[in-house]
Structure 1
Amino acid sequence: MATNTSIQENNGVNDQTIHSVRSTIYDKDEQITNTRSIQSSLYEENVVNINPSKLSEKKSHSSATHEDCESIRSRTIHGTEEDEKQSNVDGGYGWLIVIGAFLVQITSYGVTTAWGNVVGKSKSRVMQDYYEQNVFGDKVPNAPVQLSFVGTFCLIFSNIMGPVTQIVQSMIGTRAVLLLGTLFVSVGTIMAGFSTEVGSDLAFVLDTGDLLWNWSQFDTIMAVAPQYFDKRRGFALGLIASGSGIGGLIMPFIMTPINKSLGGGWTYRIVGFICLGCDLVACILVKDRIPRPRIRKKLGDIIQFSVFRDSKFRIWCLGATMQMVGYFIPFFFVPSHATYLGLSAQQGSTMIAVSCAMNFVGRIVCGYLADKLGTINTNIVYLIIASLANFLIWTFAYTYGTLVAFMAVFGFACGSYFALVSPITAFICGMEKFPTGLSMVLISNVVAVFGPNIASAIESGVSSERFFSYKMFAGVAYILSALIMISLKFSVNRKIFKKV
């Protein structure tokens, strides 16, 4: 009897043990189920930084332990980051971003080109010539000089206002910044049509409009567009940059007949409404791929001079500046060279049209090649072509045909900077420091504004053939920038044929 009693007691203990084990297994299964439920909900909510209060709420409805939740958090963060990298990249909505940014480039650079500033003066001085001859000619002393400063200040503002753009964007968001800039651009251009004085009216409204255009549009679209592309980033940015070539080609031809029939005032009013329509499309389409929290940034958060600690970034800034120094020379002086050779104004306009058309094609091809060969490699190839065009074509250009050939080749190759400045900066700095890096590059390029002045000083100080020093100056600037970019390439990777 004692033995039987002992056996029954042991069986009872075993039954309890089995029941306990089964209960534990059931609890574990339930725990795993709850854990997966939490993970799934976190994925669905696309939470990257888990809110501790929400996590506590999840835990109160489950039996998951603290360690389990920490594990889930780690896996969720990793998974969400991978998901963000892969979703909506290299296509889809990104192409709508390209369309909006393309329209911005057409209108903004087109109007600037048609004015006749440092860049546009050589391309087609539509508005500057009009104001010189019909508005301010005999009324204002040194009217051409004063009018030229309007375009010069526009260029300087567009380069140095990048940090301000980022501060405002962090406060009110991307779309609000675009809308604000669209308002100032359109109103500023329309009000330019009512200007009666160079200093107090015209320069103010145009420079203010261009300054705020840079706030809202150029820096914004160049910061947003790379978010939507990875493997096709170069091609997408090349398409965007090509808009300025189209704008430089078509806007002067739109504004010239309006000038003749209605006058300069109505020209700017009509163009203002054109800018309003195109820029509103950009406001609707352009948005951040991943919404950013609105946290007011300080100037110290934007201008991070720590990026200059990287030797590769310093090399890139120097190379970019040299490219822009060479870029301005042919556009500034080829029309004068054509006049010196006895060519007509119509022939000069044709050269400019050919240059703008080839600039449009060159930027698209540049972006496509950048995705295949690498951004730095492509930039080097284009710089060498531009240098050879100055040395081998412009140097021996004494006829209309040879000048057209030079402007075609140079126009194709000279725009690589505008197509590649964003992807190269992103490659060197990384996307985290990309906005700061882009602002620093643009600010450093302000020096290039004085390239034509330096070239003119050299020309006046030598007794060689007319325009010969301009040709050599541009060629040397481009070959130096090519050598600088080659050194950047080898600082990244020493293999000659490596995609960089």
Structure 2
Amino acid sequence: MNNNTAPYELSKTNTLNSPTRSINRAISVSQPDLNIDQVSEEVKLEPDVDNTIPEGPPPDKGYAWIVMAACFVNLLFAFGTTNAFGVFQTYYLEVLFVDVSADLIAWISTTCIFFTLAGGLAAGPIIRRIGMRYTSILGTFIGSAGLLLASFSTKVWQLVLTQGVIFGFGSSLIVNIALTAPALWFDKNRGMAIGLVASGGGFGALVLIPVVTKVVEVNSVWWAFRVLFLMYFVSTLVGGFLLKPRIGFTPINKIIDFGLIKDPVAMLICAVGFLLEIGYSITMLYFPASLVDNGTSVTLATNLIMAFCTISAFSRIISGYLVKKMNPMDIMIFCHSMSGIIMLTMWLTNKKFSVHLVYYLLFGLFSVPFFSLGPVVTASYYKKEKISQVNGLSYLSMGIAILIGAPSIGAIFQKYGKRTDYSQIIIIGGTFYLLSVIPLVLLRHYIKK
């Protein structure tokens, strides 16, 4: 474990610079023959200096639960909207941009997910300047602007800019803070708290998908964006106002701490995120469309997205609870192995709706523990000043996976799958999930050391 040495260093510094040290030095220079009893008497004349650092409110109780609730709501909308992207993706592929190539359409989801994941690296320097609360509120205004502008967009490039870049970056600030704040407020219940907050993305899709679907049915996708804008703005604004750190929190004043590149634990966490994100995004973006192509109605496919998100939300909560009894790496190793296996068997080799339904629910259960347990591992291993930076770097790796993977997968689906055969991209997804087990095994080894 990486022990927090800050208190020791502070104590050492205070001792070297204290008035007592100055007296001792002065006495030793000007009166070399003075005996030790006289020195001790002189030292006692100095008033005591209290160098203790205020500990703040007690963890795991009181306002900690309000912070957790605020983070849950913020993640519900910041990640929930992204998790509901399957609805938009299906609408873009099947209705709005039928004559546009799949790899070009994929850039909308690519930029949205990339900036939602990677943009959080900017949170640390912004928090240093304006604080945690106002950084989250800044994210609210930026993300809301993206949704509102998307409601007037009719071209793919316009949606890339509005729904992708602007909304994604605003949400990234909210996501980074929502996953960092519980680590500052919880100690004994840290895993459970982060798991509950991380489940907000799944429950968010459960809330938002019916809203988006209904508005699209009775009006248009543009009005769906406007309704999302109102819900997102009000909810994350209130959640942002409730946020504050338990104790002094000054993240590293760097967008990227290049020292972490030499840290094997940080790099292994990033490797896990990179590999799993490619596999996870394939199911998230293409499974609903594959159901429609196999004869399932769009409405039923949309409802199944909600079922998937519900299962994945409870999976994150359960993972956070199991951390008290099990090694988080063991949980992730098992779940990632299962995710890869079921992708390469149940989805790849079968066309029956019943089998696909079971696959989708099982994938929701096994595919997501890293999203809650990754921040738990980070918060347990690193000092609090580095938590935001390591979380941001981890999500950057997932963003890069989307930036590289989503267009490539879209191109493969377009060229080799002819927009009807999903077997090539399913093999890619299952393989990458199985590959993510390798850095998890190494991570378990390094953290044991």
If the length of structure 2 is used for normalisation, what is the TM-score? 0.80
Partner of 1:99: 69
1:475 maps to 2:430: yes
1:433 maps to 2:433: no
Alpha-carbon separation, structure 2, partners of 1:419 and 1:69: 51
Q: CA deviation at 1:72?
A: 5.4
What secondary structure sits across from 2:396 in the alignment? Answer: helix
Partner of 1:89: 59
> Which of 218, 222, 228 is matched with 2:179 structurally?
222
Alpha-carbon separation, structure 2, partners of 1:261 and 1:343: 21
1:289 maps to 2:246: yes
CA RMSD in angstroms, aligned pairs only = 3.7
What secondary structure sits across from 2:280 in the alignment? Answer: helix
Cα pair 2:337 2:437 within 8 Å, conserved: yes
Alpha-carbon separation, structure 2, partners of 1:160 and 1:266: 28
> Which of 281, 288, 306 is matched with 2:259 structurally?
306
Alpha-carbon separation, structure 2, partners of 1:381 and 1:261: 43
Q: CA deviation at 1:251?
A: 0.9
Count of equivalent residues: 418
Cα pair 2:83 2:202 within 8 Å, conserved: no
Partner of 2:272: 319
- Please list the CA deviations of residues 42-97 of structure 1 after superposition, one character each: whole Å capped at 9, or x if unmatched: xxxxx9x98x99999xxxxxxx9656869754xx53xx47x55xx52223222211
> Which of 339, 343, 347 is matched with 1:394 structurally?
347
Partner of 1:173: 131
Partner of 1:233: 190
Q: CA deviation at 1:279?
A: 0.9
What secondary structure sits across from 2:323 in the alignment? Answer: helix
Q: CA deviation at 1:382?
A: 1.8
Q: CA deviation at 1:423?
A: 1.5
Over 3 Å counting, the alpha-carbon distance change for 1:189 and 1:306 in structure 2 is same
Q: Higher relative contact order by CA 8 Å / sep ≥ 6: 1 or 2? A: 2
Over 3 Å counting, the alpha-carbon distance change for 1:72 and 1:193 in structure 2 is same
- Equivalences for 1:4-153 in 2 at 5 Å? 66=43, 73=50, 76-77=51-52, 80=53, 83=55, 87-114=57-84, 120-121=85-86, 125=89, 128=92, 133=96, 142=100, 147-153=105-111
Over 3 Å counting, the alpha-carbon distance change for 1:472 and 1:319 in structure 2 is same
Cα pair 2:378 2:390 within 8 Å, conserved: yes
Partner of 1:185: 143
Cα pair 1:329 1:451 within 8 Å, conserved: no
Structure 1 unaligned spans of 5+: 1-46, 57-63, 115-119, 495-500
1:254 maps to 2:202: no
Alpha-carbon separation, structure 1, partners of 2:164 and 2:425: 29
Larger mean CA deviation between 260-269 and 159-168 belongs to 260-269
What secondary structure sits across from 2:171 in the alignment? Answer: helix
- Equivalences for 1:370-449 in 2 at 5 Å? 370-449=323-402
Alpha-carbon separation, structure 2, partners of 1:321 and 1:378: 18
Q: CA deviation at 1:128?
A: 3.7
Q: CA deviation at 1:402?
A: 0.6
Alpha-carbon separation, structure 1, partners of 2:290 and 2:90: 19
Cα pair 2:89 2:109 within 8 Å, conserved: no
Q: CA deviation at 1:482?
A: 1.5
Over 3 Å counting, the alpha-carbon distance change for 1:55 and 1:192 in structure 2 is farther
What secondary structure sits across from 1:161 in the alignment? Answer: helix
Partner of 2:29: none
Q: Percent identity?
A: 21
Structure 2 unaligned spans of 5+: 1-10, 21-40
**Residue identity in the other structure for 1:275:** Y
Cα pair 1:190 1:270 within 8 Å, conserved: no
Alpha-carbon separation, structure 2, partners of 1:486 and 1:190: 44
- Equivalences for 1:242-281 in 2 at 5 Å? 242-281=199-238
Q: Report the structure number with the largest CA radius of gyration.
A: 1
